[in-house]
Each structure stands twice: as C-alpha cells, then as structure tokens.
Structure 1
C-alpha cells in the first residue's frame, strides 16, 4: 500500500531552483513598509526646498531676478537629471549584488549630500550637490526595484501602488514643510533637518529590511535568461513601456513652469499667486494618493495593459478641459482628477516591466524604467515652458493630451500585435 508522503518527508527543493521572489516571500511586506517610509522621507527632504530655493540662491550671491529664476530651475532639475543618468547602473548592480545594498547606499549618500547643501558657499556648489543627490541617491527608485522583484506576482500591482503613495505623499508634504521650517531653524538648518530625516530612513533600512540574495544562484539564472527566446519578444514590449512611463511624467510636469502665470490670467491677485499655485500643484499629488493602491490592485485583477490604456485615455480627456477653465478652483479640481487617473499608470507599467523579463534582469530593466520617468520630469517642463512662451498657454494642454492619446494607441497596438505581452499580464 502506498502511503502519502508527508511534507516533512518530501525532498527539499534544491536552492538553485528557488527563485528570488520565493526566497524573499516572507520579507516583502516588512520591506514594503520600510520602503514606503524611506521613499516618503527622502522625497520630503528633496522637495521641501521648493518654497525657499530662490531665497537660498540669493543668499549664495545671485542678485539679478532673472538669474535667480534661472539658477533655481537648474538646481531643481539637476537632481532629476542625475537620477535619470545613473538609475540603470544602480539597477544592474542590484541584480548583481542585491537590492538592500542599493537602498542603504542611496539613503546614506542622500543624507550626506543633503547635509552638505546646508554648507554650500556658492550657487555652483548648490547645483553640483543637487546633481550629486541624483547621481548617488534614488531611494525611491531602489525601492521599486526591491518591491517589484519581491512582491508576489498576484499582488505586485497593489504593492507598487502603495509604494507610489509614499512617494507622492513625500512630494506633497515636502513643500508644506519647507514653507515653515526655515522660520524655525533657518534655511541652512533646514537642510540639516532633511539630512537627519534621511539618516533615520537609512538606519531603518539597515536594521529592518531583510533580503535573501544568492549571487551564485542569481548569476546562473541571469545567464539562462540571456539565452531565453522571450528576450526577443520583449525587445518590442519593453521600449513601449519605457516611452509610456516617460510620457506620463512629461504630461504631469509640462504645466509646472507656467502654472503660476496661467493662474494669474484667471484673475488671482498677485499677492495670492504663490499660495494658490501651491494648492493647484498639490492637487494632482493628492488625487494620486487616493487612487494609486486601488488602481494597482485593479491591474492585478484585470491586467496592467487594460489599466494603462484606460488611464492614458482618461488622463488625456481630463487634460483638455484645463485649457478652458475660468477660475483657479476649476483647474485645481481637474488636476486632482488627473492625479487620480495618472496614479494607475506607473504601478501598472512597473508591474508589466517586472513580469516581462527574467527576475535576474529585473533590477536592470526597472532601472531603465526609472531613468525614463525622470527623463519625463526633465523634458516635460522644458516642452511646456517652450510651448507656453512661443505659442500660448492653452496649447500646452492640447499637446500633452495628444501625446497621451498616442501613447495609449501604441500600448494597445503592442498588446494586440504581441500575444506574449498579454500573457505575461495574466
């Protein structure tokens, strides 16, 4: 008589056949909690300088109003540029040496650089240090690589949506903190507070985050993946996802350079422009916070491609009426709705990127995804500013809306043309 084999008597699965996600299945939820906290903390620290950045530029010796605006823009954009350049490198190193070391590296590096900004002696120092923060930082990017590769396939969209909420909350709260903190500790002291906040995130990452990384096992998996036939399929799918991610950030950021001017044309008094512009800018992030986890979970149920195409079309439809508003609160309401539709895009794209490649290459590919997103944050304000200056403010909304529709059509075409792209989403 054949007796059933108990679990205790069952042969152990050789470690070389256990995937990275399976080895870390017991850690991903605690790691998610730390990554949400760390993403929130680092982005608060990076964005809280927005309200007083021109004032700090003046303190560093720049007197001309035009030069203050120019240097403030360069200093702010330098961090995005640095992250766009190095994100693929850090993703590749995450595949080779583990995800946790990349998180620790980002947090420690950003804590040091943020503190050094507080002792800058010239505007050149400020720009260089902001660039360094992007080159060696990127905690939120490293978090996406870790959670995207550790979360179970059926919950990856939800997990990435929750992680996105932490980053959005940091971008929302940061300028609010930067509005009152300099009055307590001074502008330079604010950077030391920011560095201390990131140091707390670094300590939490070092002490709480867990990772089971086996370089030998994952190296074998990486060599096998390079010979896999699915690589040729994804050569068409992955670029479309990267372009779509860039378009999302481009559309969201294209209005930033002209939003204060646009609100001024709506009849808002000059003395209230800064406050109203801040509310309108925050509306998009607030809307995204409300729906990011829900749309991420929806992507787990109905598929990432469906959410991507639907959200792109919905965002384009919400973009157009913004050109015809007559009151600032109408613009704020539409930006909030746009934030709600945009929120489903990045978690769904990251989920599909993760599922379209072997896990041994996921860090590298997700690094390219982060690079595409930050490229959109750099290019979006440039395009919006140029169109607003030479054509008009309303056309900015039409152009970005059209780009979103083109991205939706491209995503639908790729999904229809490559059945494999739909299968990895099931």
Structure 2
C-alpha cells in the first residue's frame, strides 16, 4: 500500500477520535455555562458565542505560525504537539470554577490547536493531484464522522455522568489520538528550503495570488455562515422542546444530523470534484446550503430542525474540501503548510466571527434572525465564487 494511503487511514482515525472529543463540547457548552452560574438566557447565548468563538480567534493568530513550523520541521511533530496540548487543556476545563476561567482555557486551546490542519497538509503534500479530491474528501469525513458521534455521545455522558465528565473524556480521547499518531503515522519529510521565508517572500512565490486571496475570503465567509448557529442550537432546541429534561441529548442529535449527511456525501463530492472541478461543486453547495437555512427559522419542533440539518449536511459536504482542493492544486508543495496555515487562519477568524455574531444576534434580535442572515451570507458567497472563481477556472479548462 502506498504511503499516502496508509497515512490517510491513520490520520482519518486520529481526526475521527479528536473530532469526537471536540464535538462533544459544543452542545453542552451553554448548559455548562449555566452550570457555572450564568442564568439569564440572553447572557448564556452571548457567553456561549464568546466561549465557542474565542478559541478560533486565537487559532487564527497561531495557525500560520504552526503552518510555517510544519514546513520547517515536518507535519507529524505538529500533529503530536496539537493533540497532546489539547488533551491537557480540555481536560482542565472540567475543573473551571467560573465562566471566565473557562474562556481563558478556551483561549489557551486556540494557541495550541492545529491537529486537523497538520493532517490535511500531510495528506495534501503526499497525494498526487489526480487523487487529491478523493483523499481530502475522505479525510474530511473523519472530522464529520467524529462530529456525528460526538454531540450525541456528549449528551449521553451529560445525562449519565454529568457535564464535567464530558471535558474529562474529551481529554482522554485526544490523548488516544496522540498515541496512535506517535505509533502509526510515517512521514518522509525533506525540507525543500533551508532558508525560512518571510511572509512577503512566501507571497512573492505564490503563482495564483488573486485566486489564493479569493479562496481565503471564501473560507472566511463559509466559516462565518456555517458556525453562526453553533452557539445557539442548544438554546433553540430548548425552546422548541418546551424545556424537556433531555435537552443535551436532543441537541446532540440535532448537531449529529448534519454530520451524518456530511459523511454520506463528502467522499462522492470529492470524487466529483476530481472529475468536473472543485469550483463547480462549491458553487452548487453554496446555493443549496443558503436555501436550506431559511426554513430552519420556521420549524415547530426539534425533529423538524433535525431533518433540515440533515439536508444542510448534504449540501455543505463539498464546501471546505473544495477550498482545500483548489488551494492544493495552485500552491507549490514547499509552501503547502504555510498556505494552508493562512487558509485555516481565515477559517478560524470566520468561526470566531460567526460564533460571536450568531450569539449576539440571537441575544439582541432573536434566534430566528440568525438563520435568515446566515442564508444571506451563503448566497452572497455563491455570487462571489461565481464571478471570482468559476469564471476564471472555467476559462482554464
């Protein structure tokens, strides 16, 4: 078996385990904030947005640094650093005495994260262009599959063992991810340049500057749109369920619905990207996702929301993998880590912006407006991609 295939299997498992651990936190975060003493619903949504999003703001600052380190020292060391650091930090969240300490630990988590980015860079640099779409599509299902199981598992853990146990078990899962990577991932890393290039020098060697900037902006906008609803889903489910005693479990199922759809659709959309072009797939997915957000504001119960989140997962499965495919194809292999680092920085800024934005809009205008504004952002992004990406790449075919 070729090395890239072996590493794809190991990285898939590592991201899968890490994603289970990370996604367990999302549906219980508002409940944990309430457990820490915040009782007002508007305050819970605002603190949830900050606590969820601040990790990604800090990650945006550190992601290019870790991307540069990956090009200098190798991708495997970055995978090991991120998984071990997150295992320790997230485990400590279970001991947080108040919401401010929790936010502080989320900031620290952002500074040491980067597991998925390093894995993506490793696979992208070891895979030939003919299989890049398939490999990155399959790799994306690891995060999706983990996200599928994680929220439901987090809901079960909350009901059986309590909120704090979610953070302790997440730490253990990330430690497992560290151990499997240490033992099984193989990297024949050869640094292509002894000189550490500055940001200006890196930028001067990128052949498709305008297209690269466009993909960064696209990734940012995607992240804003897709993560604007993350902090408020649990609160929305609580409203729809009339204060049921199983809120964490229902919220976990709602989170998981889109993950199930993603894992079904992502490999096929990755192969389709290799055949017809990632730019065509991303345009269709943007339009579909933008439309599906609208009816989520009008649902009458959690089960209807769950069904629409499943459809959203089908539509959004081709978005971020398509961005990675396009960047991989237009970036020299020696700069892949740096470029992916900047790309993830844009994505992290988008996640932070979306999470805080969604939390604030929900607190000021109401939850339904988050879905309307998110839909508008995705459809506007579709127009941007059509004129800036599709027309350009279609002419080159």
What TM-score comes out, normalization by structure 2 length?
Answer: 0.86
SS at match of 1:271: coil
What runs of 5+ residues in structure 2 fail to find an aligned partner? Answer: none
Residue by residue over 1:56-100, the C-alpha shift from the partner in whole angstroms, topping out at 9 and shown as x without a partner, is 55666x365566665554333332223222111111111121111
SS at match of 1:212: coil
Q: Distance in 1 between matches of 2:99 and 2:293?
A: 36
Please say if residues 55 and 107 of structure 2, whose CA atoms lie closer than 8 Å, have aligned partners that are also in contact. Answer: yes
SS at match of 2:208: helix
Please say if residues 248 and 342 of structure 1, whose CA atoms lie closer than 8 Å, have aligned partners that are also in contact. Answer: no
Q: Distance in 1 between matches of 2:38 and 2:233?
A: 24
Please say if residues 264 and 273 of structure 1, whose CA atoms lie closer than 8 Å, have aligned partners that are also in contact. Answer: no
Residue by residue over 1:203-261, the C-alpha shift from the partner in whole angstroms, topping out at 9 and shown as x without a partner, is 2111211111122x3448979x9599873x52211121122222222222223344456
Identify the residue that residue 172 of structure 2 maps to in structure 1.
Answer: 196
- CA gap of 1:81–1:226, structure 2 versus 1, over 3 A, is closer
Identify the residue that residue 243 of structure 2 maps to in structure 1.
Answer: 270
Residue by residue over 1:133-179, the C-alpha shift from the partner in whole angstroms, topping out at 9 and shown as x without a partner, is 22112211221121122222111111111111111222222222223
What runs of 5+ residues in structure 1 fail to find an aligned partner? Answer: 1-24
Identify the residue that residue 383 of structure 1 maps to in structure 2.
Answer: 357
Identify the residue that residue 301 of structure 1 maps to in structure 2.
Answer: 275
Q: Distance in 1 between matches of 2:298 and 2:98?
A: 43
CA shift at 1:299, angstroms?
0.5
CA shift at 1:323, angstroms?
3.7
- CA gap of 1:213–1:277, structure 2 versus 1, over 3 A, is closer
79, 88, 91: which is aligned to 2:55? 79
Identify the residue that residue 319 of structure 2 maps to in structure 1.
Answer: 345
Residue by residue over 1:398-425, the C-alpha shift from the partner in whole angstroms, topping out at 9 and shown as x without a partner, is 3322222222222222236645x864xx
Identify the residue that residue 315 of structure 1 maps to in structure 2.
Answer: 289
| Mapping 1:151-230, distance limit 5 Å | 151-181=127-157, 187-215=163-191, 217-219=192-194
CA shift at 1:123, angstroms?
4.0
CA shift at 1:120, angstroms?
4.1
Please say if residues 222 and 358 of structure 1, whose CA atoms lie closer than 8 Å, have aligned partners that are also in contact. Answer: no
Identify the residue that residue 377 of structure 2 maps to in structure 1.
Answer: 403
What TM-score comes out, normalization by structure 1 length?
Answer: 0.81
RMSD between superposed Cα atoms in Å: 3.2
- CA gap of 1:42–1:357, structure 2 versus 1, over 3 A, is same
Identify the residue that residue 331 of structure 2 maps to in structure 1.
Answer: 357
How many equivalent residue pairs?
394
Moved more, 235-244 or 369-378: 369-378
- CA gap of 1:387–1:107, structure 2 versus 1, over 3 A, is closer
Larger RCO (CA under 8 A, 6+ residues apart) = 2
- CA gap of 1:28–1:395, structure 2 versus 1, over 3 A, is same
- CA gap of 1:329–1:114, structure 2 versus 1, over 3 A, is closer
Please say if residues 157 and 296 of structure 1, whose CA atoms lie closer than 8 Å, have aligned partners that are also in contact. Answer: yes
SS at match of 2:83: helix
SS at match of 2:244: helix
Please say if residues 49 and 231 of structure 2, whose CA atoms lie closer than 8 Å, have aligned partners that are also in contact. Answer: no
Please say if residues 62 and 111 of structure 2, whose CA atoms lie closer than 8 Å, have aligned partners that are also in contact. Answer: yes
Greater radius of gyration (CA): 1
Q: Distance in 1 between matches of 2:203 and 2:107?
A: 38
Q: Distance in 1 between matches of 2:143 and 2:376?
A: 27
